[in-house]
Amino acid sequence: MTICAVAVTLLYAVLTGGVASLAGVMMALALYGAGLSLFIAPNSNSAMSAAPGHRSGEASGLLHLSRSLGTSLGVAGASAVLSWRLAALTGVGDRTLGVSEQAVLAAVNETLPLLVTAAIGASLTAVVRAPPRLRKQQM
């Protein structure tokens, strides 16, 4: 998730709305995708290996539930902040159709710190959690 936080910070720096910034935006989004893929698999493996073998079904369900809940809350939080910032900048918070590109970009730039905070929080949670218990090999 640290890579994701770096990618969102990079996106914050290069998101200007001009055609020249497209390469930087694509690089930041590619870096974000790479960071997310490097985080999800080991994190899921660690969470599943911490569960007792006879509880693996419940652990899997809880893992997917927490991932879905986190995604939903992240999208809702980012959307709420984006809408709030658009309303503050333009007086229009419920639609972007008639809003200038610069106002949308300014609102997005003001929303990105929320995403960086979430990525740092996920990184810290992954680092400080208890080490997984080793399962006994059953034959």
User: Residue 136 — left, alpha, or beta (φ > 0 → left; ψ -120 to 50 → alpha)?
Assistant: beta
133 within domain boundaries: no
Tell me, yes or no, whether 136 lies in a domain. Answer: no
135 within a domain of the structure (yes/no): no
pLDDT at 34 over 90: yes
Q: Which residue has the higher pLDDT, 137 or 109?
A: 109
Q: Residues 25-51: what's their mean pLDDT? A: 86
Residues in the chain, overall count: 139
Inside any domain, residue 139: no
| 27 inside domain | yes
Where in the sequence is the domain holding 62, given as residue range(s)?
A: 2-128
Is the model's pTM score more than 0.75?
no
pLDDT at 138: 45
Q: CB within 8 A of 22, min separation 6: which ones?
A: none
How confident is the model over 90-126, as pLDDT tens digits?
887 667 777 887 888 888 888 888 888 887 887 787 7
pLDDT beyond 50 at 139: no
Please give the pLDDT value at position 65. Answer: 92
pLDDT score at 129 = 66
pLDDT for residue 45: 84
Mean pLDDT confidence for 27-47: 87
| Number of domains the chain is built from | 1
Q: Is residue 137, in this structure, part of any structural domain at all? A: no
Percentage above 90 pLDDT, the chain: 7
**138 within some domain:** no
| Residues contacting residue 38 through CB under 8 Å, at least 6 positions apart | 3
Report if residue 134 sits inside a domain.
no
pLDDT tens digits for 48-96? Answer: 888 888 888 898 898 889 889 988 988 898 888 888 888 888 887 667 7
